[in-house]
Structure 1
């Protein structure tokens, strides 16, 4: 008789603070001090604020200890923190990763319209980055966006690309 495999558990931690290096250092050190391991991380700067997202794994007691320490750590180092428990993402063996690059004149509703297009076609969003800038010739605001998505099994890429270009 085999024993069932234990589902790996994670903490997904989002933190906002002023100093990106200090924020990353404090949270990664605290993870290590509590016998947890950082599995994935993302850091971005947004004006004077930095946003750090960590996915941390460990034994149930190590995760609980780390989770309990976070509010005190955040108060001491003046950053905000939010924690959610998570499990592994389901394996999607027949799905296909795809990257869509968008460069267009900026409109306030453009990101939600692009997301709605993908929702309407049952496409899952994995990663999104977007930035705006002033076009040198016209001075108009432009958007550069990169959508990393997962296409469902059986999706014809050429058909979806044509639909996207017509959109």
Structure 2
């Protein structure tokens, strides 16, 4: 009599630390040692800190062992950690991925205005990066943002694009929205 395969479960770990390589190494090693596999990960630097987010998959007992070991690792290696159980990402075969690029003079309200635009149009945010820098000519603070969004099935793309460009013009944003394309290595 064979046992049924264990149902795969997921764990999301968010960690902050000052040494990005050590942080990544410790958490990926702990994952491997506890028979968990990395499904996705992102690492970004923010000032003196690095933020690492991992989604891990494994059996319930492997994830439980890993969860139990994480507070001790965080204390020993001086990083901050948050852990939560997660379900697999839902499959949305009819959803269309798009990327919105925005550049403008920095204002504190730009990100919430962008998010509100997409909320109002029932568009889901998949990922976002935002950076500020000093303009070489003027020394003013500039903003570059890239938002990867998922358009719901049935969205009239030309209408949404026109709405986004009108919205951007009203806020004096230099922007573009186009279909997402995989990055070539």
Structure 1: unaligned runs, 5 residues or longer: none
Report runs of 4+ in structure 1 exceeding 3 Å deviation: 4-8
- Tell me the distance in 1 between the aligned counterparts of 2:44 and 2:139: 26
**Which is further off, 153-162 or 116-125?**
153-162
Count how many residue pairs are aligned between Structure 1 and Structure 2: 164
Q: Is the 8 A contact 2:8 2:60 kept in 1?
A: no
CA distance in 2, matches of 1:24, 1:120: 37
Aligned to 1:154: 154
Q: CA RMSD in A?
A: 1.4
Hey, what does 2:165 align to over in structure 1?
165
Cα 1:97–1:6 change in 2 (3 A) is: farther
Q: Distance between the aligned counterparts of 1:144 and 1:68, measured in 2?
A: 39
Which residue matches 1:76? 76
Contact 2:6 2:59 in 1 (8 A): no
TM-score, normalized by length of structure 2?
A: 0.86
Q: Which residue of 1 aligns with 2:118?
A: 118
Shift of 1:89: 1.4
Q: Which residue of structure 1 aligns with residue 34 of structure 2?
A: 34
**Aligned residue for 1:107?**
107
Alpha-carbon distance in structure 2 between the residues aligned to 1:162 and 1:134:
30
Distance in 1 separating the partners of 2:42 and 2:92: 23
**Structure 1 residues 7 and 143, CA gap change in structure 2 (3 angstroms):** farther
Asked if the contact 2:7–2:59 (Cα under 8 Å) also holds between the matched residues in 1, the reply is: no
Determine the C-alpha separation between the residues in 1 that align with 2:5 and 2:31. 24
- Distance of 2:114 and 2:6 partners within structure 1: 38
SS in 1 for 2:144: strand
Matched residue, 1:145: 145
Q: TM-score, normalised by structure 1?
A: 0.95
Q: Secondary structure at the match of 2:137?
A: coil
In structure 2, the residue matched to 1:45 is 45
| 1:127 lines up with 2:127 in the alignment | yes
